[in-house]
Every structure is written in structure tokens, then in C-alpha cells.
């Protein structure tokens, strides 16, 4: 696979880690979790972002942000065990927060809106996933708990396109698929490879990472008929279920020599992109017969080095000067900067262009270095 | 107590029905239960529906997941000593998922409801499943 020829759009927002980021549907607003606040950036100029608003409300670090594409509502969750739903109030710019009582006694770790935007799921360190929906009768967000058989912190949640099935990765080494069907809010989903009659908290599938490594991220394929998860043993596993009570059609694992991935995303039914502690984005591709790592999105060294003018010339003066001042052999600045675009690990991968049934053509990443980068695949 | 009676109201019909229920159920052979709710718009305490439940399971199914309710229950028991007793109690059903507003609404009306319905005691439950061992609770506390 050729790496991208279009340069990635880099936005170095600040010098602090970004726990999670989310773009609005029009991609003109970017919400970024920074310590205890959420900063909202608006596009300004050709390709810059300007700080527009700050959502304050959480007492502790914000761990998850998600903007619902159609309604524009923002849901955030934090280590203070709460979640807020922020509603836009017209052109005034002010956002109205509504506290959602999750009833958990540990930090919330991740939050995502369901595709139908009437529910959202919050993973937590309390070994519980809180599925929250709005009850009209009481004018209140109610949270229902998915408890069994989670045995440790939930690190990530992902929704199936039907808004009923929910995948969760946990530090107990398992990736699981649950039904989060809520009577009254959801319509009965069509039968799928994951099962038919699915009351709340039914476990439709439970997959163990063989080394029991922590699962960092889970994702359903665009059709919902396959599940991918990445674990701390540097592996990516893809599961193709056959039907509710049968063993899966295929469980394929790709182990890489790279550092573990923290986030992954399906671009098509047969392609994945993943990013993690190596600070770069990698592609994987395959199908029910097998998967393999196909390449990186970074421009490789050999293609960028000759005469592109980005490296400084190694003059003898610079070389001896750096040896004298810094004790470094070689005058190039490379020892202080990573060769990758991100200068620290990547924590979140999101689709930027495409997704929701279409092939993903551009993705956005954010990481511990405070950068948000938009890549073209 | 009087401040609550200024806030919550009972219609005459409801008061009469409460009286009739209390007096009429002591001779019944099976449990009798009526669900009461508070109408938020006019703060009136009234019946949730027109049914008298004789089956604890049906009663448990009828209770909403996320809203509190008051249930007046008359339950015939045969005690260990052989004595027949028909305790008349109020069940304060308060699920943990209900909003604080609803909680306060029902908490304020609890004592008023107790006095108006003249029940023996109040039992607190927080989920419909707790109704299943209502019999043990009634026996145990006698």
C-alpha cells in the first residue's frame, strides 16, 4: 500500500495531552478534552483552528468527548464519575450542561453516542458500562448498568450500526459484545450474526485475548458483522461471528513488532487503521482468510530524505558545535524530535471524511503531544 | 404535616376510595394492592390505574422502572403460631434511577399518604424484585 502523498493537516493546539477529541458534523468545530475542561475550536483561516469556547463543569480530568453528528449535542465524561450532556443554545454560543447521574463509584473512562443519538454508553473503572437514555416523562437522563460479566475497568466502547449492540474492551483481557436494548427507546433490532432476541445485558460474544493483555480499543466493521480489537500485547484481533450460539466463523490475530495500538478504526470492510504508542498510524488489511499489517501512513525515511529540503545541511561547523555543546555526534537535529508527525503516543483515532456506511477517506488523530492531525488515506 | 397538606391534594373520591379499601380488604383471601402516583401538574395524589392487583408478580410488572410510586397492600398471612393476620401496609417504591425531583416529590408526600390511608407501617423497596419477598418481610416484622 503506498503511503499518502497528501501532506497531513497538523494542528498543534497546545502543550498538554489530549485525552479525546471529536469533530462536529460539518468539521468546522473541534472539541478537545484538556485536563478538566473541554476546549471548542472553530476553523479560522485556511487551515487553522482558533479557540472559541471552553466547557467547564467537570472537577477532574475529562476522559471522553463525543459530538453527535445530527443533533450537535456533546457528551463528556470524566474521572469525577459524572457525565454531562451539553446542548447548543442557538447562536449565542453558550452551551447548556445537563448532569447525568451515572451512579458509578469509580472514574468514567470513555463515552460514545449511539448512531441513533438517543443513547450513549459510558465505560468506567467501576466494572460497569452505564447506558444512558433520556426519559421524557421525568425529563431526566436515566442510566442503566451493564455489569455482568465485566471483571475489570472498561477501556473503550463501540456501537454497532443498529444502536442496540455495544462492544466493550476491558482490562480483564476480554472484548465483549452486549445488547443494550432499552424498552421504550429502541425498536426491536433485526436479527444479525450476533443474535436475535436480545434483552438488556445479554452477552452476544466474549473474546479473550490469549495473553490476557488489556484491550485498548474495539470497533465494529461498517456492516457490523465483524469486530476488531487491539490489545497491549501488540496484537490486533478480528472476529467474524457466524450466529448466536455457534462458535465464530473466524478469529484472526495479527501480532506486530510495533508498540501496542491504543485506537483502531475500520475504513472499509477489509481495511483497518490503527495507531498507538509508536506515535504513527498503520494500515492493516484482510478478510475472513487472514489479516496482515500493510504499512504506515507516515512518509517513510527513504522517500523523504533525498533533497526535499526539510533536513538541515550537515556542515562541519554544526557537527562540532553540537558535539561541544550537547555531546551529540552528528549535527542533525534528529535526536530531539521523533521522525513521526506526532511527537508522543496517539490516543484517539476518529473518522474525518466518510464513515457511517461510506468508505473512510480521511481520519483524524490526537495524542499526548497536544496535536490533532488530519490524515488523507 | 400541615404544610404538606397545603401542597399535595386528595380529591374527595380518592379519600373515599382509600377508606373503603382499608375497611374492605381485611376479609380477603388473597393480596389486594392499589398503586398511587402523584400528578406533577396539580400535585394531586391519585390512583395510577383502576385495577386492584391480587397477584404480587403482576404488581411487580406494573411498577415503572424509573419513577417512584406508593402502593397500598393488604396481604393475608398465616403466622408461624397459626394465627391469621392481614397486615395493611404502604410500600414506598423508589428506584435508584429516578430523578432527584421525583424523589423529593414523593418523599414530601409520604407522611401525608400514611396518615390519609391509615396504614400500619411503611416498607421501603427500591426495585420491583424486592416485592417477591414481601411475605417474609411482613411475617418477620410482626
Q: Do B97 and A142 touch (CB under 8 A)?
A: yes
Mean pLDDT value of segment A322-351: 81
Q: Which residues have CB under 8 Å from A56's CB, separation 6+? A: A36, A37
pLDDT band at A255 (very low <50, low <70, confident <90, very high): very high
Of A353, A360, A349, A375, residue with least CA distance to A21: A349
Residues in chain B: 142
Residue B1 predicted with pLDDT over 80 = no
**pLDDT tens by residue, A329-338:** 655 555 678 8
Indicate the pLDDT class of residue A67, thresholds 50, 70 and 90.
very high
- Return the residue of A nearest to B101 by Cα: A138
**Cβ of A135 and B96 within 8 Å?**
no
Confidence of residue A256 (pLDDT cuts 50, 70, 90): very high
The reply to whether residue A137 touches residue B97, judged by beta carbons under 8 angstroms, is no
pLDDT at A262: 96
Query: What radius of gyration do chain A's Cα atoms show?
Result: 22
Q: What is the mean pLDDT of residues A30-34?
A: 94
pLDDT score, position B3: 64
Residue A3's pLDDT is: 47
Alpha helices by DSSP H, listed for chain A, are 301-304, 316-325
pLDDT at A306: 43
Per-residue DSSP letters for A150-202? --S-EEEEEE-TTSSEEEEEETTSEEEEEE---BTTBPPPPPBTTBSS--TT-
| pLDDT computed for residue A1 by the predictor | 43
Q: Nearest CA to A167 among A99, A249, A238, A80?
A: A238
Average pLDDT of the residues in B107-121: 88
Whole-number pLDDT of residue A332: 56
From the list A235, A106, A103, A225, the residue with the least C-alpha distance to A169 is: A235
CA distance linking residue A350 with residue A347, whole number of Å? 10
Residues of B in contact with A142 (CB under 8 A): 65-66, 97
- A241 pLDDT more than 50: yes
Cα A238 to Cα A264, A271, A375, distances in angstroms: 11, 11, 24
- pLDDT mean over A260-266: 95
A170: phi then psi, degrees, rounded to nearest 5: -140, 165
Would the CB atoms of A138 and B99 count as touching at under 8 Å? yes
What value does the mean pLDDT of chain B take? 85
| pLDDT number for residue B134 | 82
- Of the spans A139-143, A248-252, A368-372, B130-134, which averages the highest pLDDT? A368-372
Does the structure show a pLDDT above 90 at A316?
no
For residue A232, which phi and psi values (nearest 5 degrees)?
A: -75, -5
Chain Cα centroid distance, residue A122:
14
Mean pLDDT of chain A: 89
Beta strands in A279-367 (DSSP E): 281-287, 290-296, 346-355, 358-367
- A147 vs B: CB within 8 A: no
Confidence of residue B4 (pLDDT cuts 50, 70, 90): low
What was the pLDDT predicted at B115?
Answer: 86
Amino acid at each position: 500500500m503506498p503511503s499518502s502523498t497528501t501532506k497531513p493537516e497538523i494542528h498543534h493546539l497546545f502543550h498538554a495531552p489530549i485525552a479525546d477529541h471529536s469533530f462536529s458534523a460539518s468539521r468546522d468545530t473541534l472539541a478537545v478534552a484538556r485536563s478538566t475542561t473541554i476546549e471548542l475550536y472553530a476553523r479560522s483561516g485556511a487551515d487553522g483552528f482558533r479557540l472559541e469556547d471552553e466547557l467547564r463543569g467537570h472537577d477532574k480530568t475529562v476522559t471522553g468527548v463525543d459530538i453527535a453528528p445530527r443533533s450537535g449535542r456533546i457528551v463528556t465524561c470524566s474521572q469525577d464519575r459524572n457525565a454531562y450532556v451539553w446542548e447548543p443554545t442557538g447562536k449565542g454560543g453558550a452551551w447548556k450542561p445537563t448532569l447525568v447521574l451515572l451512579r458509578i463509584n469509580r472514574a468514567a473512562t470513555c463515552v460514545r453516542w449511539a448512531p441513533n443519538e438517543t443513547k450513549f454508553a459510558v465505560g468506567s473503572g467501576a466494572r460497569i458500562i452505564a447506558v444512558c437514555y433520556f426519559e421524557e416523562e421525568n425529563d431526566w437522563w436515566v442510566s442503566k448498568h451493564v455489569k455482568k460479566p465485566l471483571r475489570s475497568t472498561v477501556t473503550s466502547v463501540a456501537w454497532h450500526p443498529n444502536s442496540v449492540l455495544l462492544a466493550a474492551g476491558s482490562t480483564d483481557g476480554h472484548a465483549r459484545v452486549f445488547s443494550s436494548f432499552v424498552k421504550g427507546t429502541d425498536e426491536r433490532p433485526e436479527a444479525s450474526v450476533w443474535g436475535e432476541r436480545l434483552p438488556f445485558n445479554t452477552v452476544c460474544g466474549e473474546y479473550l485475548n490469549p495473553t490476557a493483555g488489556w484491550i485498548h480499543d474495539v470497533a465494529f466493521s461498517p456492516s457490523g458483522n465483524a469486530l476488531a480489537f487491539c490489545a497491549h500485547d501488540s496484537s490486533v484481533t478480528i472476529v467474524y461471528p457466524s450466529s448466536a450460539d455457534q462458535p465464530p466463523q473466524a478469529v484472526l490475530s495479527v501480532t506486530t513488532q510495533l508498540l501496542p495500538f491504543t485506537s483502531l478504526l475500520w475504513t472499509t470492510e477489509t481495511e483497518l487503521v490503527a495507531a498507538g504508542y509508536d506515535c504513527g498510524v498503520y494500515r492493516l488489511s484482510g478478510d475472513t482468510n487472514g489479516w496482515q499489517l500493510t504499512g504506515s501512513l507516515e512518509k517513510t525515511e527513504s522517500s523523504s530524505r533525498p533533497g526535499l529540503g526539510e533536513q538541515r545541511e550537515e556542515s562541519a561547523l554544526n557537527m562540532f558545535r553540537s558535539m561541544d555543546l550537547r555531546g551529540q555526534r552528528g549535527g542533525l537535529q534528529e535526536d530531539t524530535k521523533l521522525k513521526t508527525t506526532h511527537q508522543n503516543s496517539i490516543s484517539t483515532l476518529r473518522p474525518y471524511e466518510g464513515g457511517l456506511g461510506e468508505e473512510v477517506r480521511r481520519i483524524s488523530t490526537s495524542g499526548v503531544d497536544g496535536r490533532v492531525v488530519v490524515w488523507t488515506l | 404535616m400541615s404544610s404538606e397538606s397545603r401542597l399535595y391534594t386528595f380529591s374527595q373520591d380518592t379519600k373515599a376510595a382509600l377508606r373503603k379499601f382499608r375497611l374492605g380488604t381485611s376479609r380477603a383471601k388473597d393480596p389486594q394492592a392499589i398503586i398511587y402516583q402523584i400528578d406533577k401538574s396539580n400535585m394531586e395524589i391519585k390512583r395510577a390505574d383502576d385495577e386492584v392487583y391480587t397477584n404480587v408478580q403482576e404488581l411487580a410488572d406494573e411498577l415503572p422502572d424509573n419513577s417512584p410510586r406508593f402502593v397500598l397492600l393488604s396481604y393475608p398471612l398465616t403466622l408461624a403460631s397459626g394465627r391469621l393476620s392481614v397486615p395493611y401496609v404502604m410500600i414506598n417504591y423508589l428506584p435508584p434511577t429516578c430523578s432527584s425531583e421525583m424523589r423529593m416529590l414523593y418523599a414530601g408526600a409520604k407522611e401525608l399518604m400514611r396518615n390519609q390511608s391509615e396504614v400500619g407501617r411503611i416498607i421501603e423497596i427500591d426495585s420491583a424484585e424486592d416485592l417477591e419477598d414481601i411475605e417474609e418481610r411482613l411475617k418477620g416484622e410482626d
